Structure 1
Amino acid sequence: MIPELSGIDHVHIYVSDRSAAHHWYQQVLGFRVMEQYLLWAADGGPLMLEDPAGRVHLALFESDKGPPSTIAFGASGVEFLRWKAHLEECGEGVSVSDHDLSWSLYFSDPDGNRHEITTYDYDAVKEHLR
């Protein structure tokens, strides 16, 4: 049998300016530094960030050689609509895609890493977007 996974531990994000990226992730997505792992950020290691609930972890690596990353976050229909409004208020270029079974918001960080917020509360969101 294949062993079980407990979820995604963290995602590596490659950025050209870690300080600027940290600011963007803090201001736009509400991520904060995980103080207990701050020592890893020395000597090219990752700056570990987490969302306000502590469920999503990102590792920011400063490098202009890394490939752009894509992260898809999940949200309820209500939260999806709140994210759409929030991202637009932040001046982020957001595109909305109807995938027939789900909805997705797409946007990018300043380094071109793509982000997606997806909801499977299709009908609830459809009522508000159409």
Structure 2
Amino acid sequence: MPPSLDRIDHIHVYVADRTAAERWYQRVLGLERVAALAFWADEPGGPLIIADSTGAVCLSLFERAHAPCRSTIALGVSGEQFYQWQNWLMQELPVPPRLEDHQVAWSLYFSDPDDNPFEITTYDRAMSPVGA
């Protein structure tokens, strides 16, 4: 039996322009540069670490040539937060997020400017999202 895991520490995200990506993630998802780890971004090929205000959501932005992404970063929220995210993303994104009914969950699907796919999901089936 393997040892237990505490949490997902961070997720690697590959972007063509890290400066532009940092602005997008700050504006759309509210993620900010982690000052204590900013030195890694100065190393050749090193990541720029961004996170939410609690540190619960942490991404490592690596500047690389564009390549197809086969993984999706899924973020969990409450039903009330889902409404807020749906409204926010409809205002902030050039293409509205795709709403999907998974029978036990609702999900919003969208991509960053480098085509990295994201999902925001809630298991609160008592709510009815816009467009459902």
TM-score w.r.t. the length of structure 2 is 0.91
Higher share of residues assigned helix: 1
Structure 2 gaps, min length 5: none
User: 1:76 aligns to what?
Assistant: 78
Whether the 8 Å contact between 1:92 and 1:107 is mirrored in structure 2 is no
SS of residue matched to 2:85: helix
Q: Which moved more, 1:8-17 or 1:63-72?
A: 63-72
User: 1:90 aligns to what?
Assistant: 92
For 2:52 and 2:14, the matched residues in 1 are separated by: 18
For 1:20 and 1:127, the matched residues in 2 are separated by: 31
1:125 is matched with which residue: 120, 124, 127?
127
User: 1:24 aligns to what?
Assistant: 24
For 2:2 and 2:68, the matched residues in 1 are separated by: 30
Q: Deviations over 1:83-106 (max 9, x none)?
A: 000011113421100000101000
User: 1:8 aligns to what?
Assistant: 8
User: 1:99 aligns to what?
Assistant: 102
Residue 114 (1) aligns with residue 117 (2)? yes
SS of residue matched to 1:112: coil
For 1:8 and 1:104, the matched residues in 2 are separated by: 20
Q: Which amino acid aligns with 1:50?
A: A
Q: Which moved more, 1:61-70 or 1:2-11?
A: 61-70
Whether the 8 Å contact between 2:66 and 2:114 is mirrored in structure 1 is no
SS of residue matched to 2:127: helix
